[in-house]
Structure 1
Amino acid sequence: MTWRKLANQWLAFDQLEASLKSELEQIQTNEKALEDAFHQPLTFGTGGMRGILGPGTNRMNIYTVRKAAKGLARYLESFGQTFKERGVVVAYDSRHMSKEFAVETARVLGKHGIKTYVFTSLRPTPELSFAVRYLKTAAGVMITASHNPPEYNGYKVYNETGGQLPPEQADLMIEKVNEIENELTIEVMEQETLEEQGLLQWIDEDLDQAYLAELKSISLNTDVISNQADELNIVFTPLHGTAGELVPQGLKQLGFNQVHLVEEQMVTDPEFSTVQSPNPEEHQAFEYAIGLGEEVGADILIATDPDADRLGVAAKNEAGKYQVLTGNQLGALMLDYILANTKEIPSKGMMIKTIVTSELGRAVAEHYGIQSMDVLTGFKFISEKIEEFEQTGSHTFIFGYEESYGYLINDFSRDKDAIQSTMMACEMAAFYNNKGMTLFDALDELYERHGYHIEDLHSVKMEGIDGAKEIANLMESFRENPVKVAGNMKAEIVEDYSIGKRTYLADGREEVTNLPKANVLKVKMSDDCWYCLRPSGTEPKMKFYFGVQGETREEADRRLEQLKTAILENI
């Protein structure tokens, strides 16, 4: 059906929810806005289904949520009655319509005889992942748009292992979703009936306590926490999101006594009114934390995104000013701390990172004699490998991370976990504080030992239908003619993940990448430098990643500038 026919179908639907009907009528004469709302269905990317709230098949609303939920029901039914009877657990964050979407999911699943466990109030993504494993449900759903702007919401689906659906499973679910012709006519059960029949069960503190009990296992050095319990000054902000309860409780049970909360941002607020963006990757998100940090003399500032899967950390630099560590820097520091403080490192230990994450982590892992593995961008690929290790016994998971501020230490949850990571970051800060060092002092030691690894990310917004075409054209242009020279650096290897092929430019030799196919292009240059192009899986953006290495900071900085200039002038 064309977008125009779909729009007319929605406009003619006499039972359309009132607020959506009003919004749709307001844009019905705006052809560009109407086309954007209906030209495609929302699809699952690296972070699940995510979109702007509003009427339309390309928007997040109760009807597109019902369609996703019905697709999930049919997906579960395809595995048989026993699997279906295990049920689904649903959590949600502080965004507009999050709880409503959670209940709508239960109403659809209930119509299929599938029990739904729903949290009574907002909870973090990692606790949802944990809850799937704890309750042994067949699947999980997290209603969140993570760090996106306030006008977004999203729908992440988890499998029975607690990880997001990997490609093969996601394809099957998408197939089930696409079989549904009309999201407007999906049948649902009333909430009261669901509760009476036991198809909707509300859950809360029991799961919190079970998660907190597992969180105790994060600590590697209880002595250093005891020594620094009253010395290490911590500032924490959940950025109006879901971590406001669990992070303070987790830090308290580890023994940290000096935890200062950014009160203005402890309030759940779907507009995220105190920040330009609720994303700890953005340094402006730390404005309130820095103010409080200066007031109380904090040693470490902690910020989590709305669904608490991403962690940002700031510490004092050599100038005595608070500076936010990059995801690459914090990941390498935590990996080094974990390996240095693990009494017996497993002989088959494995660190997992993504293909756009710094090579510093690999150097750290090699220093301690453990292997490293690269996976595609998206934490579901890390989760998939953890499950594979568990099933085969081939390796022992040590640590997983991605440059976009996502880390996992212990696998009792199977998605990036900012709650776990906060505990580890604070213990690590205590360790170095006990030695009279900041996290940046520790980072300098890593650079001296392994070389100066510097990375950067450049994103270009390309919104709407025209933006999607621009992204496609840009990827095709670089595939046909990748940049091969930047300063003294020359391209040596081209990895095109859309066809799963690695090409060595010196002799034309080819080999398979052994990773799932994805719309990603990575070019490895001489001197251990690289660049990578990838359309965002969660936002209308084109992303350019850069990584360089140098024997000195000056050399690394120069190479980074040369590489960025050479690539970006071809946009």
Structure 2
Amino acid sequence: MYNWEKSFQKWRSFQNLDLSLQQELTNLENDKTKLEDAFYKELTFGTGGMRGVLGPGTNRMNIYVVRRAVNGLANYLLKNTVNVKDRGVVVAYDSRYMSQEFAVETAKVLGAHGIKTHVFESLRPTPLLSFAVRYFGTVAGVMITASHNPPEYNGFKVYNEDGGQITPSQAEQIIDEIQKTEDELLVPVMEKKDLEQEELLDWIGNEVDNAYLEQLKLISKLSLEEQDSEKDLKIVFTPLHGAANDLVVNGLRQLQFNKLEVVEEQAVPDPEFSTVASPNPEEHQAFTMAISQGKKMGADILLGTDPDGDRLGVAAKGEDGEYQVLTGNQLGALLLDYILSHSNQTILKSARMLKTVVTSELGRAVADAYNVKTINTLTGFKYIGEKIHQFDATGETFIFGYEESYGYLISSMSRDKDAVQAAVMACEMASYWKQQGKTLLEALDVLYDQHGYFLEGMSSLTLKGKAGTDQIATIMESFRNEPMEEIASYKIEKVEDYLVSERTILDGEGKKSETIELPKENMLKFILHNDSWVTLRPSGTEPKIKCYYGVCTDSKEDSQQKLAALKETMDNKIAVILENDK
């Protein structure tokens, strides 16, 4: 059993411990609860990497935990990839506390293994890191980011040589190598000056940015003449203190979207994200300053990207002059419809649209209308990236991929969700609809009229620390062990348990079972009567359990009522489970 007190004492007595971490440990010495939380386990390296609160301890993000992870990654790469030392690893980082330091620490550990590291001179977004892996032909990539988590977090995200997030099988092998590193405090490192002298550290300037922007222009659905024409669309963009500012602005301007204003206060990299409660474009408050500036400008569309530039939020102006923030499901369906309607029919024959199992079925309905096949993946863009890689062998054509949490990919030049691609395509789409005399909200109504009023929602419950982890496990066990027949008076027709890869069909005459042909994941999906569904899933990156909902009726009002009933029922059941667990 892991002994947190023994681990704490090891750190406390380590002579060469980083001075700032040493001081933090001293400050925590009399707070046993916080100390236990910092040392009671090793920070989990999940299917894509690790993410945690900054600070001293094995359950925190700090240089020693990063070194241990990099040491495991290096050993994995040396055993499983070819020409590792020359091809090297590329590293990027966002605006968070310790991001650049962790990037350099990554190079210091890789250098000790003789592996060259390419590190960006300044902050860059996640999609550029994915692109850079493919551009340089490296064996892996590392992104230092905690995405849209609060300021006290940072993270370490690993990409494979395809530029996609590592697959579950790759993650298992990396984790195995990490666990072989017994003492995180004694991982060998090279000094930065020695890395530079021996050419094991290559600082990247604008070379990759320029190559990315050239490729970005090629994904446009505009003719060459249209690309070079001045656009009438008025745009306000906020990078929310993150890394996407330059690429989004340059990507729009190269297509002559020149009626563009940036929220300057939020264009400054700031690890505190001081102008927002949360740097998450999924949260409507993140658009407060953009909305204010948009009203002054008379903007048609507002764009917001998260700190590492992989998620995009969009707000569109309504007839009343007010701005409405689109959901990820709504924007995804609009983008898909625009892309398919402006694509060559020959391409559509082999085209595949990818979405996750908790993403709206409106996307499937849109794809069906163009005779494009939809493929479901598990939650997480790594599965979409993995599927794109498979298409290289099958001859299928990737045309669009998205997830409900504001992640979109249009071109496989990147293999992770790409807010830069999505921002430029969203403006191109909005410009098209403006020329047709419609706003994006009116364009969305067109889709609803064609396919039905799809509406989705998500609620999450944060349960921190060891106790929270146990509570989340209890909730999932309860739903598995106490089967329901209905949710909010809607009959359950199918239950999909992704942990055991089994779909149970309830047809009134008994139960039938089918195998789910997807990787295992701790997730339950209840498919209900009348095109509704509910999914329960613990987050893989945050101390949360999430509940997703989807409905479809003939009207907005009916869909809203149905969605509210599902949410209330699930909230009440979870509350009862937690009360009984006390």
What TM-score, normalized to structure 2? Answer: 0.96
User: 1:380 pairs with 382, 391, 397, which one?
Assistant: 382
- Kept in 2: contact 1:235–1:261 (CA 8 A): yes
Q: What's the counterpart of residue 471 of structure 1? A: 472
Aligned residues: 570
Within 2, Cα distance between the matches of 1:146 and 1:84? 29
2:90–2:118 contact (8 Å) kept in structure 1? yes
SS at match of 1:55: coil
Contact 2:348 2:371 in 1 (8 A): no
Deviation at residue 105 of structure 1 after TM alignment: 0.3
- Indicate the residue corresponding to 1:516 in structure 2: 519
Contact 1:318 1:440 in 2 (8 A): no
Q: Once the 2 structures are TM-superposed, how far is the Cα of residue 43 of structure 1 from its aligned partner?
A: 1.8
Q: Does 1:546 align with 2:524?
A: no
Offset at residue 89 of structure 1 (A):
0.2
Q: Secondary structure at the match of 1:524?
A: strand
Partner Cα distance (1:459, 1:263) in 2:
32
List alignment gaps of at least 5 residues for structure 2: 575-582
Structure 2 residue matching 1:301: 3-state secondary structure: strand
Structure 1 Cα separation of the partners of residues 134 and 542 of structure 2: 29
Instruction: Work out whether 1:526 is the aligned partner of 2:505.
Output: no
Contact 2:245 2:267 in 1 (8 A): yes
Aligned AA for 1:553? K
Instruction: Tell me how far apart the structure 2 counterparts of residues 278 and 156 of structure 1 sit (CA, whole Å).
Output: 19
- Which residue type is aligned with residue 515 of structure 2? V
Q: In the TM superposition, what is the alpha-carbon distance from 1:481 to its structure 2 partner?
A: 2.2
- Whether contact under 8 Å (1:66, 1:104) holds in the other structure is yes
Equivalent pair of 1:485/1:566 in contact (CA under 8 Å): no
Match of residue 312 from structure 1: 313
- 1:258 lines up with 2:264 in the alignment: no
1:557 maps to 2:560: yes
Contact 1:243 1:304 in 2 (8 A): yes
Residue 228 (structure 1) shift: 7.7
1:38-73 CA distances to partner (integer Å, 9 max, x unpaired)? 111122335521000000111000000101110110
Q: 1:465 to 1:205 in 2, by over 3 A?
A: same
- Contact conserved, 1:279 with 1:285, CA < 8 A, in 2? yes
2:572 maps to 569
Q: Tell me by how many angstroms 1:299 deviates.
A: 0.2
- Which residue is 2:110 aligned to? 109
Give 5+ residue unaligned stretches, structure 1: none
> Would you say the 8 A contact 1:140–1:160 is kept in 2?
yes
> What displacement does 1:568 show?
1.3
SS of 1:95's partner is: coil
Q: Is the 8 A contact 1:46 1:378 kept in 2?
A: no
**In 2, distance between residues paired with 1:391 and 1:380?**
18
Structure 1 position 438, deviation (Å) = 0.7
Q: Distance in 2 between matches of 1:224 and 1:455?
A: 39
Equivalent residue letter for 2:277: Q
State the Cα distance separating 1:294 from its structure 2 match.
0.4
Matches within 5 A, 1:341-490: 341-344=342-345, 345-393=347-395, 395-490=396-491
Q: Which amino acid aligns with 2:555?
A: T
CA contact (8 A) 1:84 1:138 kept: no
Q: Which residue of 1 aligns with 2:23?
A: 22
Instruction: Verify the 8 A CA contact 1:461 1:540 in the aligned structure 2.
Output: yes
Q: What secondary structure does 2:527 align onto?
A: strand
| C-alpha distance in 2 between matches for 1:11 and 1:319 | 61
For 2:578, the equivalent position in structure 1 comes to none
Deviations 1:494-533 (A, max 9, x none): 0111111111122311111111111111110010100001
For the 8 Å contact 1:225–1:427, the answer to whether it is kept is no
Q: CA–CA distance in 2 between the matches of 1:91 and 1:437?
A: 39
What amino acid maps onto 2:449 in structure 1?
A: E
Identity %: 57
TM-score by length of structure 1 reads 0.98
**Counterpart in 2 of 1:536?**
539
Amino acid at match of 1:186: V
**What amino acid is the match of 1:376?**
L
Deviations 1:360-406 (A, max 9, x none): 0000000000100111111000000000011232x211100000000
1:184 aligned counterpart, secondary structure: helix
1:535–1:541 contact (8 Å) kept in structure 2 = yes
Matches within 5 A, 1:73-472: 73-79=74-80, 82-222=83-223, 229-344=230-345, 345-393=347-395, 395-472=396-473
Distance 1:416 1:195, change over 3 A: same
**Inter-partner Cα distance in structure 1 for 2:202 and 2:27:** 38
Code of the aligned partner of 1:16: L
